[in-house]
Structure 1
Amino acid sequence: MSVVERSIPRGCLTPGSPRSPVIAKAERTTENAIASVGFVARAYFPGHLEHGLADHGLGPLATIMESFLAPGTHIKLHEHVQDEIISWVPAGIMRHDDPQGGHLTLDADHLMIMNAGRGFQHEERTRNDDPPLRMLQIFVRPQVADLDPHIQHGRLPKLETNRWRHVFGPTGSEARFTVRNAVECHDIRMNSGDTTILPSRSGWRTYFFIFSGCIEAEEQTFSEAESGLCPEGAEVRMRAISESLVVAFVVDPNASVYRVGTVGDGETVRRMAAHVRS
């Protein structure tokens, strides 16, 4: 993963400032895993932040895709198999259609999870009058293969400033939206100067991604599209240097997983992960 040249909020990066080894950090990638007319996706690999781990994923959290769709883009009908796919859309509008008659709209207030299982087909589009879309597509590995396919779509709880919102959790949890493995997801919007504690759980790992803005944690700064992996059991305080939107994943690294998802462990992702590591 490499650094992309971009505008950084003043005070976000201080040359020569001390950096703590507590949080493993990945910078923003500039390489496209997928690139077609109107559609670009960049892959982030949480497993690469765990020293000595050969896997590109971290237990059940396989891959994070930062996806961009221009207005008037149509991604034709295609199939997903095995992956649990979460579409988190803080900026823009994404429209989903499927052969079962689903016509769903995703935006900052609405989430969709495709539990692909044995296989689920859909197409994605933006209208000509839609704003540019930037979203995260999160690929979770199921515990076992060939589960029943189904789709979840609905309104998210209101996102309150400087308060973690529960986006999704494992099946059987109290989360409104669920995936079929041991991953919890929370997001937060912070104003400059706000502080919070990253979500954590005993025996699990916390991986976070800065969707926008800039934060400081353990004497390190993290800017847009940069990510970090916290050590097990650590209580990590985070401070917003500018207005920021952060998503955090709390993952059981020892959960049973099935690693043959179409995208999360597909050929394109595995090739990109190997290239990034080389």
Structure 2
Amino acid sequence: MDDSSSTRHRSHVHTAPRTDVSQDQGKFRIHFNFPGRALPNHDDHGYGPLATVVESFMDPGTLIRMHQHRNEEIISWVPDGVMRHDDRQGNELVTDPDHLLVMNAGSGFWHAEETLADDPPLRMLQIFVRPHSLDLEPGIQHEPIPDSVTNEWRHLFGPEGTDAPLSVRNDVDCYDCRLDAGSTTTLPSRSGWHAYIYVFEGAVDVGDESVGYTESALVTDDGDVTVTATQDSTVVAFVINPDAPVTRQGTIGR
């Protein structure tokens, strides 16, 4: 029997352990997840326009002083607690489970981040997307996001010109999902694009591969892939055009 068809449509899932790339600045700690490192012999720590997914911790009463980003799109996803933002454009914004923050840094954007002494400890993701062109117009988006529905994907951001709640200037869509233990969903997909999934809480099976707490997986085709929670889980998925033109001069997300 010729099984070439089933082989052709089998998903290629490459798992990656918890990252060992981190920085400890006392009250502010970060762990860099590099999607390209999940793929053997891949010559880029990023994967197409997705440069890195950073797990960030801020203790109560932490101030990250005003600093500049250039030539990267920075998305702050806060599933619990608050992250307080101010910038040289006069914005004072609070990002929490009901809001998403996107800094389109472009030619240069200055901002600061803070938690107050009576804020809860903060654990969030800061996502760095490589823009398609250098020195674009800088700007910021801070918008409410749809309510989360258990066991369903929620669209958070996508390329400019799409129906995503917020936008970035390259070909990346981002979704999150809270899965009950034992529940199964299908990883978001788009024809010709690949996917990267990060387990923020819990543990899941991506296809036939187990992916635990703070681990990740890169899916290098666009076939249907199941995600099954083996524990109550929160996962974030990125659908990526691997052939998108990218720049690599971001302040952090190179």
TM-score (norm 1): 0.86
1:23 aligns with 2:13: yes
2:107 partner SS: coil
Q: Given residue 19 of structure 2, which amino acid in structure 1 is its aligned partner?
A: T
For residues 217 and 144 of structure 1, what CA distance do their matches in structure 2 show? Answer: 33
1:90 partner SS: coil
Query: Is the strand fraction higher in 1 or 2?
Result: 2
For residues 153 and 79 of structure 1, what CA distance do their matches in structure 2 show? Answer: 18
Q: Which runs of 5+ in 1 are unaligned?
A: 1-19, 266-278
Q: Which runs of 5+ in 2 are unaligned?
A: 1-9
Aligned length: 245
1:53 aligns with 2:42: yes
Cα distance per residue 1:216-247 (max 9 Å; x no partner): 12222211110001121221111111111010
1:47 partner SS: helix
Q: CA RMSD in A?
A: 1.3
1:86 partner SS: strand
Out of 198, 208, 213, the residue aligned to residue 202 of structure 2 is 213
For residues 22 and 262 of structure 1, what CA distance do their matches in structure 2 show? Answer: 32
Match of 1:127 in 2: 116
Match of 1:71 in 2: 60
2:79 partner SS: strand
Matched residues, percent identical? 50
TM-score (norm 2): 0.94
1:164 aligns with 2:153: yes
For residues 222 and 242 of structure 2, what CA distance do their matches in structure 1 show? Answer: 13
For residues 167 and 87 of structure 2, what CA distance do their matches in structure 1 show? Answer: 20
1:238 aligns with 2:227: yes
Q: Given residue 117 of structure 2, which amino acid in structure 1 is its aligned partner?
A: N
For residues 217 and 45 of structure 1, what CA distance do their matches in structure 2 show? Answer: 18
1:41 aligns with 2:30: yes
Cα distance per residue 1:17-59 (max 9 Å; x no partner): xxx9931011112441x32130001101111122332011111
For residues 20 and 44 of structure 2, what CA distance do their matches in structure 1 show? Answer: 21
- For residues 1-278 of structure 1, the aligned pairs below 5 Å read 22-32=12-22, 34-265=23-254
For residues 230 and 128 of structure 2, what CA distance do their matches in structure 1 show? Answer: 29
Cα distance per residue 1:174-197 (max 9 Å; x no partner): 111000000000111111111100
Q: Given residue 212 of structure 2, which amino acid in structure 1 is its aligned partner?
A: S
Match of 1:269 in 2: none
Q: Given residue 43 of structure 1, which amino acid in structure 2 is its aligned partner?
A: F
1:253 partner SS: coil
CA contact (8 A) 2:206 2:217 kept: no
